[in-house]
Amino acid sequence: MSLTVIGLGPGSPDQVTPEARHAVAAAEEFFGYAPYLDRLELRPGQKRIASDNREELSRAKAALARAAQGVAVAVVSGGDPGVFAMAAAVCEAIEAGPVEWRTIEVCVVPGVTAMLAVAAKAGAPLGHDFCAISLSDNLKPWPLIEKRLDAAAQAGFVIALYNPISKARPWQLGSAFERLRKTLPAATPVIFGRAAGRPDERIEIFPLGEADAGRADMATCVIVGSAETRVIERPGSGPLVYSPRFARESA
Amino acid sequence: MSLTVIGLGPGSPDQVTPEARHAVAAAEEFFGYAPYLDRLELRPGQKRIASDNREELSRAKAALARAAQGVAVAVVSGGDPGVFAMAAAVCEAIEAGPVEWRTIEVCVVPGVTAMLAVAAKAGAPLGHDFCAISLSDNLKPWPLIEKRLDAAAQAGFVIALYNPISKARPWQLGSAFERLRKTLPAATPVIFGRAAGRPDERIEIFPLGEADAGRADMATCVIVGSAETRVIERPGSGPLVYSPRFARESA
């Protein structure tokens, strides 16, 4: 009995690892959010079971139930499956599920997660200590997110924001920017990285003081610099944004 | 004029993206730390220029100087080049260097960074908000690292520790564990992930109360859970470690 959780990377086929490609070839049934399943080139006989993007736990349970029946199951995520994605949901389902599920061989195939793809397009904004925070308050209370934003900004972490905005969560990113403006200088660079590596890619850089949450959508990963993050203007091409490797005591 | 900063992933050829492979094929000269250059399969005529792992800035300058001469230059990093690796050093060198260097086309090719590969082997320890901290105090003062460890642990971030230990920095990881024990429960899972995805891989899990810095070496990425991180024991295979996607107000 086996279940593989596969990271498909940020979206470009060129950023899918050979390991992920082999794992796709070896599986019989694929569980995932439809846009991720759409990226797969499946053979006749390989089967896709699509579900909505807020049904992670029921999707994980359905996949484990099929794996327990002896089917070679794959659960697919965009980016890396361990970062705000399906690997944790599968673990949650195993812990809460029948003891038999603990004997299913679980393999997680890592991938390039969104913040790395966005950072690469901008320069090296994650070049110093950084954190990743999901702005979704579906599964955690908003005050806890605010506490983490404060802690991260005050301690000098660069901050990558996942799940910044959606139709059901329209105000959270704007509220996060407001919160961060209390601690960080208005000139702090903010990167809006949409669909990095895909044909519809859009990378935009604004100072925190002018960052407008309306620039983000569900396919965007937002990176907020620390007070040390720098912008290098270049003639004829976009600026480079980077966080120096060194830091002063006061940082 | 072009310079490409290439992420070679954690070490397995199976985890090198096609994009990275194509970037290697397109370059003429390769600058990097020798063990990373050793991973490349170069053609006759492709040239390697190895330097020590504490010479990032001079390596970046040498690479930029060659790119400015019209050579197709690649700078290689293990993992992802934007995470405690060469992309930031290249940006630093560009900012401090001759204005001409700002006209060099810089491309960063992302990769699977160590913490993602280690997390995949353990389950989903990075499944909730997390941070990445370099424990090297070569370029930043130790009290700043302690401040960040405190802030991250108190705010409930899972913590990935890069550069945990070396011959020149023997005490930092042990000191970090001591520091974290003041905030986190003794049962908090700590993952020592050595050479994930390579033949000499070793993944070990200990409670924070018993975590011994001597288990780590230069090839290790250490992940310290939050107070919410859980361990699922399994018959016949290693435990799964994961951080649930949900969190309570008090977390």
Candidate from B19, B22, B144 with C-beta closest to A249: B144
Are A82 and B126 within 8 A, CB to CB? yes
pLDDT at A62: 98
Chain B nearest CA to A49, separation (Å): 22
Average pLDDT over every residue of B86-107: 98
User: Quick check: A88 and B124 in contact, CB under 8 A?
Assistant: yes
Which candidate in B109, B112, B158, B240 is best for mutational testing of the A interface (most A CBs within 10 A)?
B112
CA-nearest of A156, A159, A161, A131 to B146 is A156
Task: Give pLDDT, residue B117.
Answer: 98
The predicted structure's pLDDT at residue B127: 97
Read off the pLDDT band of A89 (50, 70, 90): very high
Mind listing the pLDDT tens digit for each residue in B6-19?
A: 999 999 999 999 99
pLDDT of residue B53: 81
Q: How confident is the model at residue A54 (pLDDT cuts 50, 70, 90)?
A: confident
Judged against a pLDDT cut of 90, whether residue B75 lies above it is answered with yes
Q: Taking chain B, what is the end-to-end CA distance rounded to the nearest angstrom?
A: 50
Put simply, the answer to whether A139 touches B111 (Cβ < 8 Å) is no
Restricting to B residues 178-207, those with a Cβ less than 8 Å away from any Cβ of A are none
Nearest to B117 among A106, A110, A156 (CB): A110
Is the Cβ of B174 closer than 8 Å to some Cβ of chain A?
no
Contact between A120 and B109 using a beta-carbon 8 Å cutoff = yes
The Cα of B51 is separated from the nearest Cα of chain A by a number of Å equal to 18
pLDDT at A249: 62
Q: What is the pLDDT of residue A248?
A: 75
- Mark yes or no for CB contact B131/A157 under 8 Å: yes
Residue A176 pLDDT greater than 60, yes or no: yes
- pLDDT of the residue at B248: 75
Torsion of CA A118, A120, A126, A131, to 10 degrees: 30
Q: What does DSSP assign to residue A127?
A: S
Residues of B in contact with A102 (CB under 8 A): 232-235
User: pLDDT per residue over A207-223, tens digit each?
Assistant: 999 999 999 999 999 99
Identify the closest residue of chain A to B8 by CA–CA distance.
A17
Q: At residue B58, does pLDDT exceed 70? A: yes
Confidence of residue A108 (pLDDT cuts 50, 70, 90): very high
**Residue A27 clears pLDDT 80, i.e. is over it:** yes
- Tell whether the model's pLDDT for residue B199 goes beyond 70: yes
A108 CB neighbours in chain B (<8 A) are 119-121, 123-124
Q: Write out chain A residues lying below 8 Å of B198, CB-based.
A: none
Residue A250 has pLDDT above 80, yes or no: no
How crowded is the C-beta side of B200, counted as CA atoms within 13 Å?
Answer: 6
Q: What average pLDDT is seen over chain B?
A: 96
What is the Cα A98 distance to its own chain's centre?
29
Across chain A, what does the average pLDDT equal?
96
pLDDT over 60 (residue B150): yes
ipTM of the complex: 0.97
What per-residue confidence (pLDDT) applies to B249?
61
Contact list in A for residue B249 (CB cut-off 8 A) is 141, 143-144
Q: Which residue has the tokens 């990445």?
A: B132
CA distance A56 to A89: 6
Inform me whether the pLDDT recorded for B251 exceeds 60.
no
Percent of the residues in chain A that have a pLDDT greater than 90, as a whole number: 95
A79 neighbors A114 (Cβ within 8 angstroms): yes
Judged against a pLDDT cut of 80, whether residue B198 lies above it is answered with: yes
- Whole-number pLDDT of residue A240: 98
- Residue B246 with chain A: CB contacts under 8 Å: 139-140
Q: How confident is the model over A171-182, as a mean pLDDT?
A: 98
Say whether A240 and B91 touch across the interface (CB within 8 A). yes
Query: Would you say residue A126 has pLDDT above 70?
Result: yes
The reported pLDDT for the residue numbered B250 is 57
Name the residue of chain A whose CA is nearest to B116's CA. Answer: A110
CB-CB under 8 Å, B14 with A22: yes
Judged against a pLDDT cut of 90, whether residue A15 lies above it is answered with yes
Specify burial of residue A215 (Cβ count, 10 A radius: 0-12, 13-18, 19+).
middle
Cα gap A216→A221, rounded to integer Å: 8
Nearest CA in chain B to A163: B129
Overall average pLDDT of the B57-74 stretch: 98
Q: Give SS3 for A98.
A: coil
Contact A18 B22 (CB under 8 A): no
Task: Check if A102 contacts B (Cβ < 8 Å).
Answer: yes
CA A113/CA B110 separation, integer angstroms: 9
The whole-number average pLDDT for the span A197-207 is 95
Convert the pLDDT of each residue in A133-153 to its tens digit.
Answer: 999 999 999 999 999 999 999
pLDDT digits (tens, 9 = 90+) for A221-233: 999 999 999 999 9
